[in-house]
Structure 1
Amino acid sequence: MPHVLVLNASYEPLGVVPLRRALVLVLENKAVSLEESGAFMHSATVTVPAPSVVRLKRFVRVPYRGPVPLTRRALFARDGGRCMYCGGVATSVDHVIPRSRGGQHVWDNVVASCRRCNHTKADRHLVEIGWRLRHKPAPPSGLAWRIIGTGHRDPRWLPYLQPYGAEDAMARIDGISA
């Protein structure tokens, strides 16, 4: 099922919801559709264009959310789904400084890797095997990463996410995956 970007009344990105939830918000007059996906939703009496971006009519106060959580999906989004060692398709998560040697499970120490590189590296440091990272791992920042980190991306969302760091995030993802 497609997903829809939800914006606050101030156009601040809040999150991503399934199409059905976004459609309910629009039909209950709690949100306005800003972008349409081109598809249509049909009922017995009504045909409604499926939204791609909706904006809430009333402002919702959002508490401070803290840093972007380190999840597998967000990590693969940050690294563009590519191995940070060889550039192949990433299928696993690797700790640059192995946990068995005191490495922590934090953004600066975790990268996406292919199974072959992960197995070859095992619990060794990069200098021991003469490898280098393609890019230095760093924690993502900005509201756009909360959306991109969900793994759902739609090009129609970019104009609404650009003021919140989406351009940098998308360039980083596209640059790594190229």
Structure 2
Amino acid sequence: MLLLNATYEPLTALPLRRAIVLLVCGKAEVVHDDPAGALLHSARLEVTVPSVIRLENYVRVPYRAKVPLTRAGVMYRDHYRCVYCGARAETIDHVIPRSRSGPHSWTNCVASCARCNHRKSDKLLSELGWTLPRKPTAPKGPHWRLLAGVRHTDPLWLPYLEPAA
């Protein structure tokens, strides 16, 4: 479940239990119901499981300039596709291998299928005659901090995760 700040900025993904507590206590409101969502029943209350909720009061979030590097973030950035062959990505590969002093950073990590990762091994791209279709970059924006730590992104969240234009 996606939690938005009072200004509709994405904050985090919440477990269902925490989201329901925020709703029942009046600290949050439902922004988007999941049409296929379940119903939760109690002795006196019936609540539809929402997909997106928004806090009633603004919460100040400390600014972090860098988006943390995570496997989920690299996969999302590369659209879950191998940068070398375009197949479904299963692993993360360091363009300049760690064994050759390559950094563990956004600009050196790419999504890769197991076959290409195994073929590349600890070689440089120039040794194999391979090239990258695009240079890996570090993502920017508050929505990336959220996406970097989430394993599953509900398609209903996408309108709320787009950067403000």
Q: Same-fold call, TM > 0.5?
A: yes
Contact 1:77 1:151 in 2 (8 A): no
Partner of 1:26: 23
The aligned counterpart of 2:101 is 102
Aligned partners of 2:107, 2:14: CA distance in 1, in Å?
29
How many residues align? The count is 162
Instruction: Describe how 1:1-178 pairs up with structure 2 within 5 A.
Output: 4-38=1-35, 39=37, 40-149=39-148, 150-164=150-164
Q: Which sections of structure 2, spanning at least 5 residues, go unmatched?
A: none
1:169 is aligned to none
Aligned partners of 1:82, 1:110: CA distance in 2, in Å?
13
Residues in 1 aligned to 2:163 and 2:105: alpha-carbon distance in whole angstroms: 26
Higher relative helix content:
1
- Cα deviation, 1:37-77, whole Å, max 9, x if unaligned, reads 13222223321111111111111111112311001111111
Letter in 1 for 2:121: A
Comparing 133-142 and 104-113, the one that deviates more: 133-142
Structure 1 CA distance, aligned partners of 2:113 and 2:69? Answer: 19
Supply the RMSD in Å over aligned alpha carbons: 1.6
**Matches of 2:84 and 2:100, distance apart in 1:** 20
Unaligned stretches of 5+ residues in structure 1: 166-178
TM-score (norm 1): 0.84
TM-score, scaled to structure 2: 0.90
C-alpha displacement at 1:155, in angstroms? 2.7
Aligned to 1:171: none
- Could you tell me whether the CA contact under 8 Å between 1:96 and 1:111 is conserved in 2? yes
The answer on whether the counterparts of 1:111 and 1:137 sit within 8 Å (CA) in structure 2 is yes
Does the CA-based 8 Å contact 1:142-1:164 persist in structure 2? Answer: no
